[in-house]
Structure 1
Amino acid sequence: MMPVETTDTLAPEDTTTAGPATAVATRQESAPVGPAGKKGFHIFTVTLGAEPRDGEYKPGTLTYKLTAPTGWKWIDWGSYYYYDEENYKATAVKPLQTSVDGKVLSFSLDSHLNSGKNDGTRLCFTVMADPESGAKPGTSSDGKVVVTGSAAKLPPEIKLYGIIT
């Protein structure tokens, strides 16, 4: 595994990009695993990345709505950082202003990739959840992430999953 260096800013060596991103991919990087009713650090990590990887993406403020999978409930907490896959460096982690309404955790953020604004090739979000009491063991994949805003290049939604042991 490559070491990850954390910095306050990511200054690209070459501030030019390959041009605008032709697509943007949202994906779940980690799924929480835990027994029903057990509180703890159960982390969901979701990332946003441009295609091509060095394509510039500056949609402005986007709204992210994450629906918890069956058996999981959100904790009103979140953070984000930018990661540069080329140099294995990350910006400092910053808090998200989240709100929870039932099974939906939401936040808005000025989102950008490869823009030279102290960002990187991936925008990473970390949010936490707890397994609900009485949740049945197994994998649930009925959660989702929906991103809205002026970002027409984004898929309408992706699935979120969690595992109850």
Structure 2
Amino acid sequence: ADGNKSLVVALGCFWCAEQAFEQYVPGVVEAVSGYAGGTNDNPSYRDHPGHYEVILIEYDPNLTTVALLIEYAYRNMDPFNGDGQFCDNGSSYYPAIFYETDDERIIAENVLTDILDMQNWDEDDIKAPIIERPTFWTAEEYHQDYYIKNPSNYGYYKNACRRTQRLKEVWGE
């Protein structure tokens, strides 16, 4: 829609990332599962070498800010795990925050600094880089809104992955 903006983040499995933003963040119009950062064009679930699983968050800048979205992204990842996220390992599941402009990069760095101060964490321990946004490729239709289309499969996966428990351990909330 006119005036909406977008942000791309990698938080491990895109199903969970999509649910986190669509269900809980005011101002988010839509979150789209996809791939970014890899070596091939038009990647697919079966063929996405080097790509992160990401979501593209479309948001209304009148209702939320990029800083709030980035903070929420951090709070939905395990920033200490550079090998994947929760029960998923491998480069597809690496966490990252992507920026499009210098302004976005500075905002992301400031959000991270605030989190480090608040949590009393060391920056060297954070394994989620802030990097330039690569081309975003939309994932297959069956991955979109997976939590709505396949609620029991999704619930089982999210629970088995211990996502919620690990986030509480990391963030203390």
Higher helix share: 2
Q: Report TM bin, short chain.
A: under 0.3
TM-score (norm 1): 0.28
TM-score (norm 2): 0.27
**Greater relative contact order (CA < 8 Å, ≥ 6 in sequence):** 1
